[in-house]
Amino acid sequence: MIDLMLEPEEVAPPLLRWYAGHGRDLPWRGLRDVYAVWVSEIILQQTRVETGQRYFGPFLQRFPTVQSLAAAEEGEVLALWSGLGFYRRARSLHRAARVVVQEHGGQVPTDPEALGSLPGIGRYTVGAVLSSALNAKLPILDGNVIRVLSRLFLVEGAPDRAAVQRRLWALAEAVLPDDRPGDFNQALMDLGASLCSPTSPSCDRCPLADGCGALAEGRVDDLPEPTKKAKVRFEERVALLVARDDGRFLLQQRPPSGLLASLWELPSVEAEGEVAVLAAGELSAELGGGAPRACGTVEHRFSHRHWTVRVFRSRGDGRGAGRWVTAGDLADLGVPTASRKAIDAGLAEPGT
C-alpha cells in the first residue's frame, strides 16, 4: 500500500492545479514589494489570517516604506500593533527597518543570508518573503506545512525535535518545483489551512489523496505527533482605573523589558484572593485616589500565562504618576488587549 506514496517531486503538479481554483485571496498575495510581503509575514506569525488582514492595510498605509517605518517612534509602531499580541515582533520589525536604512541603503536585502541576519527574521520568514515576492526557490516550514508534509511522507516524532525539524526542512526543499516555487509554497500553506486541517481533514477533496502516506495507512489522526505543551502560569492581578473629575484616567507604562514591555496599562499589581481588595485600596491611596469600588473581573490568556484581573475604580485628585488620558487617546498608545479589557470594565462603571 505504501508503495503508492508520492515522490517529493510529484507533489507540485496536482497541488498547483488545485491552487489555481482554491487558493485563498489574500491582500499580500501577488505583491512584488519585498518590504510589504515582509510586513505581512511578521503580522501573520502567531496570528490568524483573518486578524492579520485587518492590521496589514492600516500598517502599510501608515508606514508605506521601510524608511517611514525606520523613522517612526517605537510607541507609534506599538500603537498600530495594539491588540495583535506578541509585541516583540513589532519591536524587531522596527529595529530591522532601522538596520535596513542604516546598513543596506534603505533596500530590504534579497540575499537570504543578509535578510536572515535582520532582527526577528528566521529561516521560515526568509523563505516565505523571498519566494512569495520574488519567486525565489526557498523552502518554508510553518505549522500548516509541517502538518501536510508529516502526513504525506509519514514523518514520525514530534516536530519540535531537532532531528524531525531537519527531516521536515529537507522534505520542504525536496518538494519545491523549479517552476513557480512561490505559488507552490503558498499552495502548501493553503492546503494545510483548509483541507489538511488538524482534526477531521477533508481527504476526499484533497488533490494529494492518491499518494498520501497517512491516508493510505489510516494514520491521518496520528500525524504530526503532538509536541509537549508548555505549562501555563496562572496569575491573579488587581487593576485600578483612577479617574479625575474631568473624566481623564491614569495609565502607566510597563517596564522596557519582559512581558508586554513598554506598553500602557492601568496601574496594576499582582494580588491573590482576598488580598485583592486591600491591594486595590493601597494602590489607590498611593496614586492620590479615594476608596476603590469593584468593577468586575476580566480574564486574559497569553501563550503561557493566564491573567485573572479584578478591576477597581476610584476617584483621583490627579497626583498619580503616569499619563492622564481619555478613552479617545487609547488609539494613539500601545495598549495590549489584556489592558484594554480592564479599561473597558473600569469605564463601564458609572463615575465614582
Determine contact, residues 182/136, Cβ cutoff 8 Å: yes
Determine contact, residues 267/240, Cβ cutoff 8 Å: yes
Cross-strand partners of 180: none
Determine contact, residues 213/151, Cβ cutoff 8 Å: yes
| Distance in angstroms (rounded) separating the CA atoms of residues 143 and 155 | 14
Residue keyed to cell 505504501:
2
Nearer to ligand SF4, 114 or 203 (CB): 203
Q: How far is the CB of 167 from ligand SF4 (least distance, A)?
A: 17
Q: How far is the CB of 10 from ligand SF4 (least distance, A)?
A: 13
Name which position in 201, 281, 320, 336 contacts ligand SF4 (CB under 6 A): 201
Nearer to ligand SF4, 223 or 280 (CB): 223
- DSSP assigned state of 328: G
| Distance in angstroms (rounded) separating the CA atoms of residues 226 and 150 | 12
Q: Residue 225 catalytic?
A: no
Name which position in 214, 276, 325, 343 contacts ligand SF4 (CB under 6 A): 214
For position 193 contacting ligand SF4 by CB under 6 A, the verdict is no
How large is the angle between the packed helices 34-44 and 88-103, nearest 10 degrees? 160
Name which position in 15, 115, 146, 196 contacts ligand SF4 (CB under 6 A): 196
Q: How far is the CB of 202 from ligand SF4 (least distance, A)?
A: 6
Nearer to ligand SF4, 103 or 221 (CB): 221
Distance (Å) of CA 293 to CA 106, 109, 150, 256, 299: 53, 55, 54, 30, 19
Segment interacting with ligand SF4 (CB under 6 A) among 35-43, 145-153, 231-239, 318-326: 145-153
Name which position in 60, 152, 187, 283 contacts ligand SF4 (CB under 6 A): 152
Residue keyed to cell 500601545:
334
Nearer to ligand SF4, 28 or 184 (CB): 184
Segment interacting with ligand SF4 (CB under 6 A) among 115-123, 133-141, 204-212, 271-279: 204-212
| Distance in angstroms (rounded) separating the CA atoms of residues 168 and 210 | 21
Residue keyed to cell 508605506:
64
Nearest Cα to 212, choosing from 193, 194, 196?
A: 196
- What three-state secondary structure class fits 293? strand
Name which position in 195, 266, 333, 345 contacts ligand SF4 (CB under 6 A): 195
For position 295 contacting ligand SF4 by CB under 6 A, the verdict is no
| Distance in angstroms (rounded) separating the CA atoms of residues 63 and 55 | 12
Nearer to ligand SF4, 201 or 281 (CB): 201
| Distance in angstroms (rounded) separating the CA atoms of residues 284 and 291 | 7
Q: Which residue is catalytic, options 41, 50, 173, 225? A: 41
- What three-state secondary structure class fits 8? helix
Segment interacting with ligand SF4 (CB under 6 A) among 96-104, 109-117, 171-179, 209-217: 209-217
Positive/negative CA dihedral, 28, 29, 34, 40: positive
For position 154 contacting ligand SF4 by CB under 6 A, the verdict is no
For position 99 contacting ligand SF4 by CB under 6 A, the verdict is no
For position 271 contacting ligand SF4 by CB under 6 A, the verdict is no
Q: How far is the CB of 176 from ligand SF4 (least distance, A)?
A: 17
Binding to ligand SF4, residues 296-325 (CB under 6 A): none
Name which position in 31, 49, 136, 209 contacts ligand SF4 (CB under 6 A): 209
| Distance in angstroms (rounded) separating the CA atoms of residues 211 and 208 | 6
Contact footprint for ligand SF4 (CB under 6 A) = 148, 151-152, 195-196, 201, 203, 206, 208-209, 212, 214-215, 220
Catalytic residues: 41
